[in-house]
Amino acid sequence: MTSSTEVRRRTGGRDVRRIVYSREEIGARVAEMGREITAHYPEGEDLLVLGLLKGSFIFLADLVREIARPVHVDFLVAASYGSGTVSSGMVRLLYEPEADLAHKHVLLVEDIIDSGKTIDRLAPMLNERGPLSLELCALLHKRISPSAVLDARWVGFEAPREFLIGYGLDHSEDFRNLPFIASL
C-alpha cells in the first residue's frame, strides 16, 4: 500500500483525491490480461502489439512481458487532450506505425478509453491496412461513449468519471511515472 507521504513525494507535493488502483492491483490485472491475450491468438501467426502513445507506454511494456508468445511492437501517436483535463474531441494523428499490418493480428493498446473518439478515428484507418484481425486492449474504460467502431476485447479496469493520473496517464505531461493510478 502506498502511504500519503510516498504519494506526496512522488507527486512533488501535489495532493491527489485518492488512489484508484494500486501498483499491486495493476500488476495482478496486467498479468491476467497477458494470459488471456496469449490464449486468444493462434500459435504460429504474427501478433503486432500497437501502442497508442504516450499514455500506453508503461502499460504496454508490462503487458507484452506477460504475453507468452512472440510479439512485434510498434507505436502510433494521436492527441486529443492538450493541457486540459477533458478530451477536446479533436483527434490529431501525429505519428503512424511503420510496421506492415497486412496479414498480422493487430492488438491496439490504449491507456484509457474516454470519449472513444480516438479509437473511432484510428480503427478504420488500421483496418484499411489489411490485418488478419484488429482487437483493442485498454487498461481503463470510462464507458462514456454509447457506441464504438471497435469495442475493447480486454479491459483492465472500469474507470470512474474522474481525471486519472499515473501508470502512463498524465496531466500536462506530469505524473506518468506514478506506479499507481490516482484521481487528480
What's the rounded Cα separation, in Å, for the pair 109 and 17? 27
Give pLDDT tens digits for 17-30.
899 999 999 999 99
Fold for domain 24-160? Rossmann fold (3.40.50)
Give pLDDT tens digits for 88-130.
556 666 777 888 999 999 999 999 998 888 888 889 989 999 9
Is the confidence at residue 146, as pLDDT, over 70?
no
Q: In one letter, which amino acid is 26?
A: I
User: pLDDT band at residue 82, thresholds of 50, 70 and 90?
Assistant: low
Q: Using CA atoms in the order 111, 62, 72, 69, what is the torsion angle rounded to 10 degrees?
A: -130
Catalytic residues: 114
pLDDT for position 107: 98
pLDDT for position 90: 63
Residue extents of the structural domains in the chain: 24-160
Phi/psi for 50 (5° steps) reads: -110, 110
The DSSP annotation for 167-182 comes to TTB-BTTBSTT-SSEE
Q: pLDDT exceeding 90 applies to what percent of the chain? A: 64
What's the rounded Cα separation, in Å, for the pair 1 and 109? 27
Q: In one letter, which amino acid is 94?
A: L
Entry pTM: 0.88
